[in-house]
Structure 1
């Protein structure tokens, strides 16, 4: 399953992210994904949001919890853009413990290209679309 993803971002679970059960509190997984998605665009796609005249907002997230992460675990957050529509993009994510391939969490995230000035959706810019396609098809190296 890990082989299906070209991009990952690594981070360490901090004390402030665990709950009374000594596992990562569920809401923090969305933060982990958010951090990795930002790096997907910056590191993977080599995109500067201002240069690309691009912004996006979360439209939907579906999380499937498989295991729990714990304090001091090193996690890999894997990201793969699986679909690009006119204004929306579907991103699949998987979180694994460092050195393991079994998922801790699987996620499907839908983002919408957004114009902050008009507060409306807008088509995914051509530059963004082409970078995603190039990266996911192995033509752009992370």
Structure 2
């Protein structure tokens, strides 16, 4: 199930993230993914976001809820780059709960390489493509 993922980040569900049914409120899953994607770029790719000539913005998110997470659960957010286009990058994510066989959530997130000065899309830089290719074991080579 997780053998195609080369990066993951763990976090623990906090009290403020559960709802009246005592399960994680659905909007928090996007926050979990955002935290893991930031770590993918910073820890996994070794990029210092804000310090390089690379920025990206969210263009689309598709979430498929499979199971629930609960207070104090340890979650692993798995990330892999599925595709890098000219200006866009498609990230596949999966959230699993420690000790559970089924995933909690599957996601497809599309980001666009972004120029903050012109506020427009721009091509994904070659140095970013190279780092993604290295982390993802040459799937784009």
Q: Same fold (TM over 0.5)?
A: yes
Cα displacement (A) at 1:101: 4.2
Cα displacement (A) at 1:50: 3.7
- What residue is the counterpart of 2:26 in the other structure? 26
- State the SS of the aligned residue for 1:78: strand
Output one character per residue of 1:52-109: Cα deviation in whole Å (capped at 9) or x when no partner: 3110000000000000000000000000001000000000000000243421000000
In structure 1, the gaps of 5 or more residues are none
- What residue is the counterpart of 1:104 in the other structure? 104
Moved over 4 A (4+): none
State the Cα RMSD in Å: 1.4
- State the SS of the aligned residue for 1:114: strand
Higher helix share: 1
- Structure 1 Cα separation of the partners of residues 124 and 15 of structure 2: 38
- Structure 2 Cα separation of the partners of residues 46 and 10 of structure 1: 18
- What residue is the counterpart of 2:54 in the other structure? 54
- TM-score, structure 1 as length reference: 0.94
- Structure 1 Cα separation of the partners of residues 93 and 101 of structure 2: 13
- Structure 1 Cα separation of the partners of residues 120 and 101 of structure 2: 39
Cα displacement (A) at 1:51: 4.2
C-alpha contact (below 8 Å) 1:33/1:77 kept by paired residues: yes
- State the SS of the aligned residue for 2:71: coil
